[in-house]
Structures are given as structure tokens and as C-alpha cells.
């Protein structure tokens, strides 16, 4: 796949990106009078200056990125955020917005000494309206807390992420990660009816709405969804929630070629239709790693010896009993003779066991050593070309597992390694080689994790130059001084550098 370019040429190209040190842009330095001003508008517990306490907010949760901020502010109202931003804008102080700090691409931690503006005290829930299914809440609400509240009403937020226990809804909106039930809910932006946003200059933008259809010109709030806090700070949201399903059924299929996986996916989507709640893929390397490294998982199938199997996990869900659908579906599967083996869950415990295999793949990678994790989108017919190539190129250095949301084309690849010194070499082998390949195949270098700091200088593998130019123009409309989340998402105007030189330790996490 990468045969047209030798490894050497990629290393050379890659080196270009890591050749010079990133320089701090010419923002002002925080002064005592700034702290005094913030103290005049905030309560003491809304201000953190203690370096030890700041440490966790300066560091991303996978411990890949570490900034050096000396101030975190966590105001409990939009008005306070507005005052803070107005002050920072006038003073030319850089600011990084931070939610639950669960991101994987260094988007929510400072690069240098940016003021950290946390939304974690924006906790107000304004309520749920059963007539229009709209939940209104502030940005700092934790996704799982909101869902627990909605569950009593029989509803859920149309978003389900692994980080749900700590990620905040404002961060969910700003990063727009998709998660496991994307195939059921579609993109989160389709259910975001309104936002309140504070602009870099402190202006409050009222884009709130509880109506589902509003065709009054271009939909400005779309710009704040997925722009990773570079255009404004989301402070409040109106979310269209959905009815929870009453019936679920989980099954795991095993087959011996990826061709069969593709056919199972096509058949399942066609036959199950809107009752398809999730359809997930993993390879035998992933299965092997979970069965061997995660305690308490009952293997539904014997572990093979030559990594020759492929797995598809299917979850059906609906408002009514699923027996008749299951019958139709199983008949179709059987007639097509696609799966060699199939396990159908008879109870919730069995379903959880199957889901555990899929959901613990990253944890298993972590138990085996350190690992690089990628989130690509590309036509699913191309998945194994990419995986095989990554596996070949990293042979002897890393152990590659592949898995992902096959229903929506989102492939995850982990490359596990045990010698920390191998990290740089593996990164050099894969970046930007895989990004370049994805670009040529019209895929995405980030299906859900975002660009953040990690991939800002690789944005040219995601968008044409004239699109990037317009993104810069739009950034200037909202943030002419560039104070909000600098060094992120857009390629830096200054010479890019090795982000791993900025105090970054070895990548050992549990993504």
C-alpha cells in the first residue's frame, strides 16, 4: 500500500514536522493584577493557583501532553466566563477551555502557560420537557449524570462514549466524538437544538433554541460543534433526547474472512434496518488480547492459533419484542452462510460479557504494554489493506490489533509495544504515512478523537489548502487575536515542532 514511498522517504517527510521547536506566541504573561481582577469577580474555590493542584489540569489523561499553566479558573456562571474572557481578550492572555479533560489528542490542556478555563462548575440542569424531549443544561454536566436523570423519564441522550463517567457535555459538543451507538443515533449535531456560547472577546452569543426545525439562515451553532473550543466556549445546550429502547438482543458472529465480515455488515444493515443499535468489528488479535489479558471474560469461542478469525458483534434494539425480527435476520444469515459460528445472548449477563470483549480491547492493549491508538474513517472495504500494512510495517516492534464501529466506517488500530524506546520509531513509521494513505483513499485521519494539538500540523491530510484557508479566515472572524485555544486544530503559523518534546512522557494509558 505504501509501496510507492520507501520508509526512508516517509521518515524524511516526518522529520520535517519534528525539526523545529514550537515557539510560544506573543501573548501577554499573567500578572498579579490579573489574579486580583479574577479574585474580584470569582469565589476563592473558583480559582486554583497551587502548582500541585494544577498538575492534573496541565496534563491530559493519557499523559501525552503537559502544559505549564499557573492558573485555572472554574466559574459557576456564563456571566463570569464572559467577564473572564473580556479581560483576557483585552489583556491578550491566551486561554484553553477544559471540560472533563478526557480527550486523546491534547486539545484541552495548555501547551505553554495558557489560562485554563474549566467548565466543571457549570452544573445547572434547567430541566427536561417531555413534550419536545428537550433537555436544557449547562456545559459542565457529566454525560452519565444527565443520562441517569433522563433514564427515570424513559429517555436518553443520543450519545454514548466510553468516557461518559467523566466527560462533560460541553466538551462532547466541542469535540463531537461519535461513540458506539452512532449508527443508532446519527451525529450528535443532529440532536443539538441550541447553544449558548461565550466568544473570545467575552460576548455572549445566544443561539439557544428548543425547536427542532429552524431555517432562518445559516445555522451558526454548527461552527462550535467539533471546532474543539477554538472559536468559542460552549456554556449551555438544548439537547433533543430520545426514547430508550425496551428490548435488546446481542449476538457475536465469527467468520474466517474479512470478505464475510463485509457481507455480514451489509446483510445486517439491510435486514435489521432501524432496529440495528450497534454493529462492531474486531479481529482475532483483539479477541486474543482480551481473552488473555482481561480477567472475568468468558470466551464464547475457543481462541484460535493463527489469528485467522474475524468477529462481528451485533446489537438489536427496539420499542417492541424482537423475536420476529430475529427470526427474519437469522434466516437471512443462515441462508447466506456467512458466519461459521454464532453466539446469541439469552440474558443480560451474557450480553455484558460479549460487550466486555469489545469494550476492553484498549484496556487489554494497556495490560500488554504501551500503545499508540488511532481512529480512522475509511471505506470499510479498505480496512484490512490498512491493517495488514500497519502490521507488516511494525513487525518485530509492535503488536497490532484492529477493531471499530464497522456500521459507520470508524476503524481503531492499536499498536502495542513493550520497549518505550520504540515509540518514536513506531510514530515515524505510521505518521504521516497512514494519514497520507487515508487522504488518498478519501478517509479521515480522525473519525472521532479530533485534531487537537496532536494532528494540527497534519490537517493538510484532512482538508485541501483552500478549505484550511477559509477555516483560518473564520477563526479570525471569531478570534482576531487568536487567544482561544491556540496551537490547536489549525496548522500553526509558526514552524511546527515535535509535540513530544514539550514535556511528554511515554504513552501508557487506558483509552
Site for its own copies in 468-487 (CB under 8 A): 470-471, 473-474, 477-478
User: What is the spatial distance between Cα 227 and Cα 456, in angstroms, rounded to a whole number?
Assistant: 12
Q: Whole-number minimum distance, CB 129 to its own copies, in Å?
A: 8
* Interaction mask 131-170, its own copies, x per CB under 8 A: xxx--------------------x----------------
Among 195, 252, 378, 483, binds its own copies (CB under 8 A): 378
Binding-site size, its own copies (CB under 8 A)? 97
Chain-centroid distance of CA 108 in Å reads 12
Which range touches its own copies (CB under 8 A), out of 62-70, 259-267, 280-288, 293-301? 259-267
Question: Which residue matches cell numbers 515535535?
Answer: 498
* Interaction mask 337-376, its own copies, x per CB under 8 A: ----------------------------------------
90, 96, 99, 103: CA torsion to nearest 10:
160
Q: Whole-number minimum distance, CB 227 to its own copies, in Å?
A: 4
Q: Whole-number minimum distance, CB 279 to its own copies, in Å?
A: 12
Q: Whole-number minimum distance, CB 218 to its own copies, in Å?
A: 4
Among 53, 55, 266, 331, binds its own copies (CB under 8 A): 266
Q: According to CB under 8 A, which residues from 196 to 255 bind its own copies?
A: 203, 205-220, 222-223, 225-228, 230-231, 242-243, 245-246
Task: Sheet with 47-48: list strands edge to edge.
Answer: 47-48, 72-73, 115-118, 95-98
Q: Whole-number minimum distance, CB 436 to its own copies, in Å?
A: 14
User: What is the spatial distance between Cα 253 and Cα 344, in angstroms, rounded to a whole number?
Assistant: 9
Among 380, 401, 413, 511, binds its own copies (CB under 8 A): 380
Q: Does 445 bind its own copies (CB under 8 A)?
A: yes
User: What is the spatial distance between Cα 302 and Cα 106, in angstroms, rounded to a whole number?
Assistant: 39
Closer to its own copies by CB, 289 or 377: give it.
377
CB distance 355 to 345 below 8 Å: no
Closer to its own copies by CB, 121 or 485: give it.
485
Q: Does 442 bind its own copies (CB under 8 A)?
A: yes
Question: Across the strands, what pairs with 118?
Answer: 98
Q: Whole-number minimum distance, CB 349 to its own copies, in Å?
A: 25
Closer to its own copies by CB, 75 or 178: give it.
178
Among 98, 119, 191, 360, binds its own copies (CB under 8 A): 191
The x, y and z cell numbers of residue 256, run together, are 474466517
User: Which of these, 305, 307, 329, 308, lies nearest to 317 by C-alpha position?
Assistant: 329
Q: Does 271 bind its own copies (CB under 8 A)?
A: yes
Chain-centroid distance of CA 448 in Å reads 4
CB distance 51 to 16 below 8 Å: no
3-state secondary structure 142-206: EHHHHHHHHHCCCEECCCECCCCCCCEHHHHHHHCCCECCHHHHCCHHHHEEEEEEECCCCCEEE
CB distance 157 to 150 below 8 Å: yes
Q: Does 377 bind its own copies (CB under 8 A)?
A: yes
Question: Across the strands, what pairs with 168?
Answer: 142
Q: Whole-number minimum distance, CB 281 to its own copies, in Å?
A: 13
> What is the H or E stretch that residue 261 is in?
helix 258-272
Among 9, 148, 328, 334, binds its own copies (CB under 8 A): 328
Q: Does 423 bind its own copies (CB under 8 A)?
A: no
Q: How far is CA 287 from CA 284, 394, 402, 403, 412, in A?
A: 5, 20, 10, 10, 14
Closer to its own copies by CB, 339 or 489: give it.
489
Q: Does 408 bind its own copies (CB under 8 A)?
A: yes
Closer to its own copies by CB, 44 or 273: give it.
273
Among 467, 494, 495, 501, binds its own copies (CB under 8 A): 467
> What is the H or E stretch that residue 53 is in?
helix 51-58
The x, y and z cell numbers of residue 507, run together, are 504513552
Among 137, 169, 251, 262, binds its own copies (CB under 8 A): 262
Q: Does 381 bind its own copies (CB under 8 A)?
A: yes
Task: Sheet with 134-138: list strands edge to edge.
Answer: 125-129, 134-138, 233-240, 192-198, 204-207
Among 127, 299, 304, 321, binds its own copies (CB under 8 A): 321
Among 81, 117, 239, 451, binds its own copies (CB under 8 A): 451
Q: Does 489 bind its own copies (CB under 8 A)?
A: yes
Q: Does 127 bind its own copies (CB under 8 A)?
A: no
Among 1, 37, 124, 187, binds its own copies (CB under 8 A): 187
Q: What are phi and psi of 34, to 5 degrees?
A: -65, -45
User: What is the spatial distance between Cα 425 and Cα 144, in angstroms, rounded to a whole number?
Assistant: 38
Closer to its own copies by CB, 292 or 328: give it.
328
Closer to its own copies by CB, 130 or 420: give it.
130
Strand 192-198 relative to strand 134-138, pairing: unpaired
Which range touches its own copies (CB under 8 A), out of 288-296, 314-322, 344-352, 425-433? 314-322
Amino acid at each position: 500500500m505504501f509501496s510507492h514511498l520507501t520508509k526512508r522517504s516517509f521518515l524524511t517527510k516526518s522529520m520535517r514536522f519534528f525539526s523545529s521547536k514550537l515557539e510560544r506566541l506573543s501573548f501577554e504573561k499573567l500578572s498579579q493584577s490579573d489574579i486580583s481582577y479574577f479574585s474580584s469577580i470569582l469565589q476563592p474555590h473558583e480559582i486554583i493557583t497551587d502548582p500541585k493542584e494544577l498538575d492534573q489540569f496541565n496534563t491530559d489523561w493519557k499523559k501525552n501532553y503537559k502544559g505549564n499553566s499557573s492558573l485555572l479558573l472554574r466559574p459557576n456562571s456564563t456571566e463570569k466566563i464572559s467577564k473572564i474572557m473580556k479581560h483576557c481578550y483585552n489583556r491578550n492572555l491566551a486561554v484553553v477551555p477544559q471540560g472533563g479533560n478526557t480527550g486523546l489528542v491534547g486539545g484541552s490542556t495548555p501547551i505553554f502557560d495558557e489560562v485554563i478555563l474549566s467548565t466543571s462548575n457549570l452544573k445547572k440542569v434547567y430541566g427536561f420537557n417531555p413534550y419536545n424531549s428537550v433537555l436544557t443544561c449547562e456545559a459542565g454536566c457529566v454525560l452519565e449524570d444527565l443520562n441517569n436523570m433522563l433514564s427515570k423519564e424513559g429517555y436518553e441522550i443520543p450519545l454514548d462514549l466510553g468516557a461518559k463517567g467523566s466527560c462533560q457535555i460541553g466538551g462532547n459538543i466541542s469535540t463531537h466524538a461519535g461513540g458506539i451507538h452512532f449508527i443508532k443515533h446519527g451525529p450528535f449535531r443532529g440532536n443539538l437544538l441550541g447553544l449558548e456560547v461565550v466568544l473570545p472577546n467575552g460576548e455572549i452569543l445566544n443561539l439557544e433554541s428548543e425547536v427542532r426545525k429552524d431555517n432562518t439562515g445559516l445555522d451558526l451553532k454548527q461552527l462550535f460543534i467539533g471546532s474543539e473550543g477554538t472559536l468559542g466556549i460552549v456554556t449551555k445546550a438544548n439537547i433533543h433526547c430520545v426514547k430508550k429502547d425496551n428490548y435488546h438482543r446481542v449476538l457475536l458472529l465469527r467468520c474466517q474472512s474479512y470478505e464475510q465480515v463485509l457481507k455480514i455488515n451489509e446483510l445486517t444493515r439491510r435486514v435489521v434496518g432501524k432496529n440495528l443499535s450497534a454493529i462492531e468489528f474486531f479481529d482475532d488479535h483483539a479477541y486474543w488480547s482480551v481473552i488473555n489479558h482481561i480477567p472475568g471474560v468468558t470466551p464464547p469461542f475457543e481462541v484460535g492459533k493463527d489469528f485467522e478469525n474475524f468477529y462481528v458483534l451485533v446489537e438489536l434494539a427496539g420499542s417492541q419484542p424482537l423475536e420476529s425480527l430475529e427470526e427474519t435476520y437469522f434466516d437471512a444469515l443462515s441462508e447466506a452462510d456467512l458466519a461459521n459460528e454464532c453466539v446469541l445472548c439469552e440474558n443480560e449477563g451474557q450480553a455484558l460479557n460479549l460487550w466486555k470483549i469489545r469494550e476492553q480491547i484498549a484496556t487489554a492493549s494497556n495490560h500488554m504494554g504501551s500503545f499508540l491508538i488511532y481512529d480512522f474513517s475509511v471505506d470499510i472495504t479498505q480496512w484490512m489493506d490498512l491493517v495488514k500494512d500497519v502490521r507488516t510495517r511494525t513487525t518485530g516492534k509492535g503488536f497490532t490489533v484492529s477493531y471499530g464501529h464497522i456500521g459507520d466506517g470508524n476503524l481503531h488500530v492499536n499498536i502495542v509495544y513493550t520497549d518505550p524506546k520504540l515509540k518514536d520509531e513506531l510514530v515515524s513509521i505510521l505518521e504521516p504515512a497512514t494519514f497520507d494513505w487515508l487522504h488518498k483513499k478519501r478517509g479521515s485521519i480522525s473519525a472521532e478523537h479530533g485534531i487537537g494539538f496532536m494532528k494540527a500540523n497534519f490537517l493538510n491530510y484532512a482538508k485541501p489548502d483552500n478549505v484550511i484557508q477559509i477555516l483560518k479566515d473564520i477563526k479570525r472572524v471569531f478570534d482576531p487575536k487568536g487567544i482561544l485555544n491556540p496551537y490547536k486544530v489549525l496548522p500553526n503559523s509558526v514552524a511546527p515542532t515535535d509535540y513530544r518534546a514539550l514535556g511528554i512522557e511515554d504513552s501508557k494509558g487506558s483509552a
